[in-house]
Copies of this chain bind each other. A is one copy, B any other.
Amino acid sequence: MARIAVVAGDGIGPEVVEPARKVIDAVLPGVTATEYDLGAARYHRTGEVLPDSVLDELAGHDAILLGAVGDPTVPPGVLERGLLLKLRFAFDQYVNLRPSRLWPGVPGPLAAVKPGEVDLVVVREGTEGLYAGAGGSLHRDTPAEVATEESLNTRHGVERVIRDAFARAGRRERRKVTLVHKTNVLTHAGSLWARAFEAVAAEHPDVATEYQHVDAAAMFLVTQPQRYDVVVTDNLFGDILTDIAAAVTGGIGLAASGCINPEGRYPSMFEPVHGSAPDIAGQGVADPVAAVLSAALLLDQLGHADAAARVTAAVATELAGRTPGAPVRTEEVGDRLAGYAVG
């Protein structure tokens, strides 16, 4: 039976992880879950972000379910670099999977886009690019200060994530992959991405392809999100585009994500895209749908496609029954979702 590590984290993290666990238990009884206390609270208490011993223990699990970490009281970068990115890199989670659907029942912000019309997934590279941490600075706090950030891209890293995107597209109805980069300015990395894309595309004659510059893609995500099926892109572009995709499909409150090591050599990690939302924490009003959809991605990755599909269907039922604007109660939503999923 699957062994899951749970990092509930800060703010609304614990509140939304609870329903996610309930739903997993409902569709796949017998999963064991071990809780790990990581995040802003632990950092403030002990100064620790991610002790090596905890990293080792996490490595022994089949997957990680994460709520949210972070708090305005922690300096920028400490938890991001020390915990979230550390896990993505240590566990070689090179596929950062972010599906976006405009669910029936959810009022999207776009006047011309109807529920059901948007169903895309961004396959964001997760272990390279500007996230490599290859930067530095000189002459800090003087007029001569200079700071650099370097985007590192390898054929190895680029090709494997593109391969994953094509494999996913091959299992979808529209079978289309859009590569997003900025080849006209970032000519070196852009050329590497474009050539790797062409090479993998040649192995998939059944998958349609297109290329867009990141600025154009950002625009088309707003004007015609329907046009996308699978989007593959680099780490930073993926960070930005997935938030736009979330925005046009009802907000990050509904957006799920997986940081996946497809070969299963290391545990994959699943987390809602929303953060710890300290402003509404502790009130029981956070929407657990993003966490529950992340749990569905987790189940799917562990080979329980059927259980995953039941969770996704439960979410569809829940959302279709909602009155736009009506407040949600975290626990009630969790109970309903668990009920729909087994029912």
Q: Which residues of A contact B (CB under 8 A)?
A: 76-77, 80-81, 85, 107-112, 130-131, 135-137, 139, 141-156, 182-192, 195, 214-216, 218-220, 222-223, 236, 239-244, 246-248, 251-252
Contact at A185–B80, with CB atoms within 8 Å? yes
Known: A148-B152, A156-B143, A219-B247. A187 touches B76 (CB 8 A): yes
Given contacts A149-B150, A215-B242, A244-B244, list 6 more A-B pairs with CB under 8 A.
Answer: A131-B185, A147-B191, A148-B153, A148-B188, A218-B240, A219-B246
Give the chain B neighbours of A239 by CB distance below 8 A: 182, 185, 214-215
A-B contact pairs, 12 of them (CB 8 A): A76-B187, A77-B190, A110-B111, A130-B151, A136-B188, A137-B191, A146-B152, A150-B150, A182-B239, A218-B218, A220-B247, A222-B247
Give the chain B neighbours of A112 by CB distance below 8 A: 109
Contact at A243–B223, with CB atoms within 8 Å? no
Known: A110-B109, A131-B185, A187-B77. A148 touches B150 (CB 8 A): yes
The residue in chain B whose Cβ has the minimal distance to the Cβ of A181 is B76
Most buried by B among A142, A144, A239: A239
- The oligomer's copy count stands at 2
Give the chain B neighbours of A191 by CB distance below 8 A: 137, 147
The residue in chain B whose Cβ has the minimal distance to the Cβ of A85 is B185
CA distance A187 to B189 in the complex (A): 21
CB-contact partner of A216 in B110, B142, B243, under 8 A: B243
CA distance A96 to B150 in the complex (A): 23
Give the chain B neighbours of A131 by CB distance below 8 A: 185
Give the chain B neighbours of A241 by CB distance below 8 A: 218
CB-contact partner of A145 in B141, B150, B154, under 8 A: B154
The residue in chain B whose Cβ has the minimal distance to the Cβ of A112 is B109
Q: What is the CB-to-nearest-CB distance from A143 to chain B, in angstroms, rounded to a whole number?
A: 6
CB-contact partner of A219 in B130, B148, B244, under 8 A: B244
Q: What is the CB-to-nearest-CB distance from A21 to chain B, in angstroms, rounded to a whole number?
A: 27
CA distance A242 to B148 in the complex (A): 23
| Interchain residue pairs A-B with the least CB separation, the first 7 | A145-B155, A222-B247, A135-B188, A147-B192, A215-B243, A147-B188, A80-B184
CA distance A248 to B216 in the complex (A): 13
Known: A149-B151, A195-B141, A222-B109. A135 touches B186 (CB 8 A): yes
Q: What is the CB-to-nearest-CB distance from A249 to chain B, in angstroms, rounded to a whole number?
A: 10
The residue in chain B whose Cβ has the minimal distance to the Cβ of A186 is B149
Give the chain B neighbours of A154 by CB distance below 8 A: 145-147
Most buried by B among A110, A112, A142, A191: A191
CA distance A190 to B146 in the complex (A): 11
CB-contact partner of A149 in B76, B189, B216, under 8 A: B189
The residue in chain B whose Cβ has the minimal distance to the Cβ of A155 is B145
Q: What is the CB-to-nearest-CB distance from A70 to chain B, in angstroms, rounded to a whole number?
A: 9
CB-contact partner of A187 in B135, B186, B192, B216, under 8 A: B135
Q: What is the CB-to-nearest-CB distance from A152 to chain B, in angstroms, rounded to a whole number?
A: 6
The residue in chain B whose Cβ has the minimal distance to the Cβ of A129 is B149
CB-contact partner of A189 in B76, B135, B139, B152, under 8 A: B135
